[in-house]
Amino acid sequence: MAQLNRWPSQDFGELTVKRSLFAFAILASTALTSAAYAADTIKIGLSGPFTGGSSSMGVSMRDGVKLAVAEINKAGGVLGKQLQLVERDDEAKNEVGVQVAQELINKEQVVATLGFINTGVGQAAQRFYQEAEIPVLNNVATGSILTNQWPDAKANYVFRNAANDTIQSAMIAEEAVKRQGFKKPAILADSTNYGQLGQKDLTEALAKMDIKPVANEKFNIGDTDMTAQVLKAKEAGADVILTYAIGPELAQIANAMAKLGWKVPMIGSWTLSMASFIDTAGPNGDGAMMPQTFIESPTTAKRKDFIEAYHKAYGGDRMPSPVSAAQGYDSAYLLVAAINQAKSTDGKKIKDALENLQTKVEGVVTVYDHPYTAKDHEAISSNIPVFGLVKGGRVVPAHPEDVAGDKALRIKPKS
Amino acid sequence: MNILAQLVISGVVVGMIYGVIAFGYQLTFATSKTLNFGQGEALMLGALVGLTTINFLIGQSLGAFTAYLLMLPVVLAFGLLQGAVVEFLGVRQAIRTKSEAGWIMATIALGIIFKNLAENIWGRDALRFPSPLPEAALTIGPIRIQPMEIAIVLGAIALMIAVEVFNRRSIYGKAVVATANDRDAAGLMGINTRLVITFSYALSSMAAAFAGVLVAPITLTGATMGAVLGLKAFAVAIIGGLSSGVGVVVGGLILGISENLTGYYISTGYKDVPGLVLLLLVLTFKPSGLFGSAAIKKV
């Protein structure tokens, strides 16, 4: 009460501060209960590795998303509001991914999150979105499990627009055995989850064609010498090397093959398109083949616009990871279509809209016509990716006839 | 092609890298009975400083080979300085207070700081190191080997011989040996043992930095490159014995060759196992290492 007596005096300034603080507190508490509605922007989370070994994919994905968001905002935004990206570096580390997820959900109150390059990070972080009922549009990570982490849950908040490992391993086996006629494949995979799960998928895909790999070798991230692995494949009489690993170690394999004076084709998962493989392996990496949802060549009008806009915004003449950039770009448009249809930023309504998307979304990778259903959260079907080939430091179509004419645009068949 | 020979040669190359790093462990252990657990980070810093220097020199339109040779003194000087800093910040205090474990924590902590520092300066990406020699492999009899791999073996041997000759022939080196034999007596004879210990740390990091620029052209350079190498070299130092210069070379060769042979003849999934089993066996039956003289601790 002592303060009351002083009210009329010179302490008036303090009072105003207190009053406005009070007003702010009320505002803040209303905002906390309905932040998404109260704000004049719609916050979208973005989680990916922007530093470290997989940063070429993370940065390309981020740039693709930013490009789409800039276009959307320029055209008037969504539901009359501007989109605001909240970017966080998950450093490709599971525990950092979990922290990022919690921050985006609880502190930033995002309406949805785009991203995830690394299967492990997605696996660790996605359950927080699932619990908070906030949709995730997983645009790069390929682990088959990611869209099916909770088979018993009533609803699944994880969607994907990347070619998963089941699709990729089947494609690799098909290309090596059926299309190119190799009979004695050797599998070389790294010892991470990515490599070992991919190795398992590959072995199964080969088994369906009655082919048993002649060698099945492993290596660790950071291994400096691949002589033993490559020699084993060579002595087993392998006629093709199938890989599941990431850029730097893939380059070590190509370099070890060159050192041993042995050259057989390398066919592997999409990571063979990583800049760290192409640049480190140099000429030794030429000819490597991998499934790609997007190859940096203007085969459709949409792709041409996208490639030009990307290089105008970020410079250079080669995207560090074209697949990540294109998928990132498309994921933003898929999300926006769903928000528009839901006429709401409520997580559950966005999820329902995604599962029954009425508008066709014209993306860079494909035209998304009802891409998801309640049961199927994979927008990319096995007919969409084509094989890319490393040639002179770039990825080009391995079979030009696959992307010629009306085959350039491949669309998921209606279920 | 003779597979065994190829595997052994590749193992020798990797083993020599382990050996040089382990040689660094042995240098500081001899004078002060302490080790720099940030040895892998010293290697990484050396490689990254080398990378910046060589790229600068190549930017001055020098050939890769000349640039590499000119870069070496810079990296060696940097290694000396870095080792002295580690000793000054992490080890000196622990020795003065006769702390049993203070230096362990301090050198590990410094290693983490150096790694974070490198991540901030050079980023977290693995970077390509320009090769000073042609990258095409040579065929020598039944085996194929890259010129840089030969350079690694020769460079590693040259460095170790140079340090050994320095220690045995020069008056400064004799101070090092005297300190290694009996620190208190050496102190009484007027040798500044504190300076000798700083010097041994400087030499130790110099060896690691040199190993860094040796291995960089056949692999990639980055903030995390030292972790595995530093750890393996530690195993080598234990196997070979921390008091023997020959021991670390032989230990390195044993580990490098056994890794490759296991990878080929057993399974690449078990590549690292025999080295670690050997480590456990040595610790059980000959704790001072295969070539170490038994340490008798008088109390």
Report pLDDT digits (tens) over A318-364.
898 999 999 999 999 999 999 999 999 999 999 999 999 999 999 99
Ramachandran category for residue A13: left, alpha or beta (phi over 0 → left; psi -120 to 50 → alpha): alpha
User: At A86, is the pLDDT very low, low, confident or very high (cuts 50, 70, 90)?
Assistant: very high
Within 13 Å, how many C-alpha atoms sit on residue B27's CB side? 31
With CB atoms and an 8 Å threshold, state whether A227 touches B260.
Answer: yes
Q: What is the pLDDT of residue B241?
A: 85
Q: What is the pLDDT, as a whole number, of residue A6?
A: 44
**Confidence bin at A162 (pLDDT 50/70/90):** very high
Confidence of residue B222 (pLDDT cuts 50, 70, 90): confident
Q: For residues A157 and A133, is the Cβ–Cβ distance under 8 A? A: yes
Place of tokens 């041409």: A304
Looking at residue A375, the DSSP 8-state letter turns out to be: S
Write down the pLDDT at residue B118: 92
Phi, psi of A240 (to 5 degrees): -155, 145
Instruction: Give DSSP secondary structure letters for chain B.
Output: --HHHHHHHHHHHHHHHHHHHHHHHHHHHHHHS---TTHHHHHHHHHHHHHHHHHHHHHTT--HHHHHHHHHHHHHHHHHHHHHHHIIIIIHHHHHTT-SSHHHHHHHHHHHHHHHHHHHHH-SS-EEPPPSS--SPEEETTEEE-HHHHHHHHHHHHHHHHHHHHHHHSHHHHHHHHHHH-HHHHHHTT--HHHHHHHHHHHHHHHHHHHHHHHGGGSEE-TTHHHHHHHHHHHHHHHH-TT-HHHHHHHHHHHHHHHHHHHHHT-GGGTTHHHHHHHHHHHHH-TT-SSPPPP----
Looking at residue A35, its pLDDT comes to 46
Q: Say whether A222 sits in a helix, a strand or coil.
A: coil
> Boundaries of CATH 3.40.50.2300 in chain A?
40-163+296-380, 166-292
Top residue of B135, B232, B271 to mutate, by most chain A CBs within 10 Å, is B271
Asked if residue B207 lies in contact with residue B34, where contact means CB atoms within 8 angstroms, the answer is no
A-chain residue closest to B216, CA distance: A224
CA B256, A251, A256, A282 torsion-angle sign: negative
Q: Give the SS3 label for residue A182.
A: coil
B-chain residues within 8 Å CB-CB of A53? Answer: 124-126
Instruction: Say which DSSP state A403 is in.
Output: G
pLDDT digit string (tens) for B233-275? 999 998 888 877 788 889 999 999 999 999 889 888 888 888 8
Q: At what angle do helices B3-32 and B193-215 cross, to 10 degrees?
A: 160
Give the 3-state secondary structure of residue A361: strand
In degrees, rounded to 5, the angle at the alpha carbon of residue B272 between the alpha carbons of residues B269 and B276 is 140
Q: How far is A280 from chain B (nearest CA, A)?
A: 6
Q: Which two tokens stand for residue B38?
A: 């940030």
**B164 at A interface, C-beta within 8 A:** no
What is the percent of chain A with per-residue pLDDT over 70, rounded to a whole number? 90
Calculate how close chain B gets to A68, using CA atoms only, in Å.
Answer: 26
**Is it the case that residue A84 has pLDDT exceeding 50?**
yes
Chain B residues closer than 8 Å to A235 by CB: 3
Q: Is 80 exceeded by the pLDDT of residue A37?
A: no
List the structure tokens of B103. 């230096």
Q: What is the pTM of this model?
A: 0.81
What DSSP string describes B83-139? Answer: HHHHIIIIIHHHHHTT-SSHHHHHHHHHHHHHHHHHHHHH-SS-EEPPPSS--SPEE
Task: Find chain B residues with C-beta within 8 A of A255's C-beta.
Answer: 135, 218
- Kindly state whether B264 is in contact with chain A, defined as any CB-CB distance less than 8 angstroms: yes
- How confident is residue A19, by pLDDT bands cut at 50, 70 and 90? low
| Total residues found in chain B within this entry | 299
- B126–A248 C-beta distance less than 8 A: yes
Q: Are B6 and A260 a contacting pair at CB < 8 A?
A: yes
Q: Which distant-in-sequence residues (6+ apart) come within 8 Å of B119 by Cβ?
A: A51, B223
User: pLDDT exceeding 90 applies to what percent of chain A?
Assistant: 70
CATH superfamily of A40-163+296-380: Response regulator (3.40.50.2300)
Give the residue-averaged pLDDT of A269-283.
Answer: 89
Residue A15: the pLDDT is 47
pLDDT band at B109 (very low <50, low <70, confident <90, very high): very high
Q: Hey, what amino acid is at B56?
A: F
Q: Do A228 and B227 touch (CB under 8 A)?
A: no
Residue B50: how many CA atoms within 13 Å on its side-chain side?
36
Size of interface A-B (CB pairs under 8 A): 85
Half-sphere exposure of B252 toward its Cβ, with a 13 Å CA cutoff? 31
Mean pLDDT of A49-57: 83
**Burial class of residue A97, CB neighbours in 10 A (0-12, 13-18, 19+):** buried
Closest approach of chain B CAs to the CA of A371, in angstroms?
Answer: 35
Query: For chain B, what is the largest distance between any 2 Cα atoms, rounded to a whole number of angstroms?
Result: 61
How close B32 gets to chain A, by Cα (Å)? 32
Instruction: Show which of residues 81-100 on chain A sit within 8 Å of chain B, judged by CB atoms.
Output: 91
Tell me how long chain A is. Answer: 415
**CATH 1.20.120 describes domain B3-285:** no
A294-330 per-position pLDDT tens digit = 999 888 899 999 999 999 999 888 898 999 999 999 9
Residues 221-280 of A with CB under 8 A from B: 222, 224-225, 227-229, 231-232, 235, 248, 251-252, 255, 258-261, 276, 279-280
Residue A332 DSSP class: H
CATH 2.40.30.260 fits A166-292, yes or no: no
CB contact under 8 A, B6 and A217: no
The CA-based dihedral angle spanning residues B273, B274, B277, B283, taken in that order and rounded to the nearest 10 degrees: -130
pLDDT at residue A7 above 70? no
pLDDT at A39 over 80: no
Average pLDDT of the residues of chain B? 89
Answer for the pair A336, A83: CB distance below 8 angstroms, yes or no.
Answer: yes
The torsion angles phi and psi of A185, rounded to 5 degrees, stand at -80, 145
Q: What's the rounded mean pLDDT across residues B196-220?
A: 92
Could you give the C-alpha distances from B5 to A81, A257, B80, in angstroms and in order? 69, 17, 37
Radius of gyration of chain A (CA): 24
Q: In this complex, do A279 and B128 lie within 8 Å of one another by their Cβ atoms?
A: yes
pLDDT at residue A193 in the model: 82
* B123 contacts in chain A (CB < 8 Å): 51
